[in-house]
Structure 1
Amino acid sequence: MKLVYIITAQILFMLGVSHIKAQAISFPDPNFKAAVIAAGVDTNNDGNIQKSEAAKVKKLYVNNAGITSLVGIKNFTGLEDFGFFENKVKTVDLEGMKNLKFVYGFRNEITQVKLKGCTNLVEVALDNNLLSSFDLTGFNELVEIDVNWNRLQSANVSNNPKLQKVKMFDNQMTEFNADGSLELTELNLSWNNLEELDLRQFTNLRSVKLVDNLLRKINVTGLSALEVLNCEAIKKPGLLTQINTSGLMNLKEFKW
């Protein structure tokens, strides 16, 4: 009888171990796994990250860890705040992570970002990367976007009803669309290649910075909340010959 109990106990133990292994998340990039463990996610100290452990994490920062791949991140189903500064990530796929609010990926090598289904996004910051285009439309909670020092040629941030701040300076943009994002208060598109902008729909704008573009035409008439308007042309002065400032009753700083 004792032998039966012993064998049964061994079988149950082996089944338990197998179950734990089956729940362990696969991280193709060992540096990402090591950074996650260093962040304290491995609560049972078995050297792996179980799905149950990942699901409890709300904030995860894995900065300056030599990471090249974020595969495995989608197992962090409760994640709200994610930072991965100063790594070597090229593709950011966070699609379907509906609890995610904050994404900070400064100073990587990002050429592609996927955020579809991240319905609670509040802020996205991807400065100092290699993005050539950026499309983030129809996010109901989105408030701020920072994609400075990239290689953007076009950007679409339209139909984001709570979007207030957009900073995309020092890129190569010839096209920018924010139609329907009517709560915009701050817009910085300096050091791009934009030739024409009509900002009249954004009646809440307080600061517009368009330093060193190729502007030939800009329409800001009637923007009564506008306090700062900077369209200085340093490299190619003289392209913009006229700006109609009628209705800009609160303008305090005006350069062109």
Structure 2
Amino acid sequence: MKSSLFLLFLIFFLSAESQIVNIPDANFKNALVNENVVDIDGNGSGDADADLNNDGEIQISEALAVLRLIVENRNIASLVGIEEFLNLQKLRCEKNQIQSLEITNLTQLEQLTCEDNQLSALDITQNSNLAWLKCRTIK
């Protein structure tokens, strides 16, 4: 009985660990899995991709490991999926075609640069840690 419960728990845990983040924008996903967009050392430039296990997908566990993300000038139209990067402290997504940016649940976010996009609005009311915002040319 104990081994059955353990096996059931293990299956549940492994399936929760491997949940894949839905990232419908091909350019955003490509940047996350193939390009140096994660700033590991905090120097302002990308050091690695976010796909830690190199399976071509971003699991929730991988998204949670990202603290600083730089996806500037990559022809991205949507950042859907960014809401799973709950530990994100710094996001640079300037010079894209982003029309909507949902960051209300990114409560750890301290710095946001989203200028030169096609945003019509930006809700930062839930981002109490946000200390630095650069967002001009909102249309």
Shorter-chain-normalised TM-score: which range? Answer: 0.7 to 0.9
State the alpha-carbon separation in 2 of the partners of residues 35 and 110 from structure 1: 20
Secondary structure in structure 2 of the residue aligned to 1:103: strand
Q: 1:96·1:115 contact (CA, 8 Å) conserved in 2?
A: no
Listed one character per residue, the Cα deviations across residues 100-119 of structure 1 (whole Å, up to 9, x for unaligned) are: 00000121111121222111
State the alpha-carbon separation in 2 of the partners of residues 26 and 92 from structure 1: 15
- Which structure ranks higher in relative contact order (CA pairs < 8 Å, sequence separation ≥ 6)? 2
Q: 1:42·1:48 contact (CA, 8 Å) conserved in 2?
A: yes
Query: What is the deviation of 1:20?
Result: 7.2
Listed one character per residue, the Cα deviations across residues 103-141 of structure 1 (whole Å, up to 9, x for unaligned) are: 0012111112122211100011112231xxxxxxxxxxx
> Is 1:33 paired with 2:42?
no
> Is 1:24 paired with 2:33?
no
Which TM-score applies when normalising by structure 2? 0.76
Equivalent residue number for residue 60 of structure 2: 51
- In 2 relative to 1, CA 109–78 (structure 1 residues): closer, same or farther, beyond 3 Å? same
Equivalent residue number for residue 137 of structure 2: 128
Listed one character per residue, the Cα deviations across residues 2-44 of structure 1 (whole Å, up to 9, x for unaligned) are: xxxxxxxxxxxxx69x827951100121111111222211010
Equivalent residue number for residue 96 of structure 1: 105
Which TM-score applies when normalising by structure 1? 0.42
State the alpha-carbon separation in 2 of the partners of residues 116 and 71 from structure 1: 19
Secondary structure in structure 2 of the residue aligned to 1:34: helix
Q: 1:93·1:115 contact (CA, 8 Å) conserved in 2?
A: no
Whichever residue aligns with residue 42 of structure 1, its letter is D
- In 2 relative to 1, CA 20–30 (structure 1 residues): closer, same or farther, beyond 3 Å? farther
State the alpha-carbon separation in 2 of the partners of residues 116 and 35 from structure 1: 28
**Hey, which bits of structure 1, 4+ residues long, moved more than 2 A?**
18-22
State the alpha-carbon separation in 2 of the partners of residues 79 and 21 from structure 1: 18
- In 2 relative to 1, CA 78–21 (structure 1 residues): closer, same or farther, beyond 3 Å? closer
Query: What is the deviation of 1:91?
Result: 1.0
Equivalent residue number for residue 83 of structure 1: 92
Question: By percentage of residues, which structure has more helix?
Answer: 2
Q: 1:85·1:108 contact (CA, 8 Å) conserved in 2?
A: yes
**Count, aligned residues:** 115
Whichever residue aligns with residue 113 of structure 1, its letter is L
- Between structure 1 and structure 2, the one with the greater Rg is 1
Whichever residue aligns with residue 25 of structure 1, its letter is V
Query: What is the deviation of 1:92?
Result: 1.4
Percentage identity across paired residues of the two chains: 30
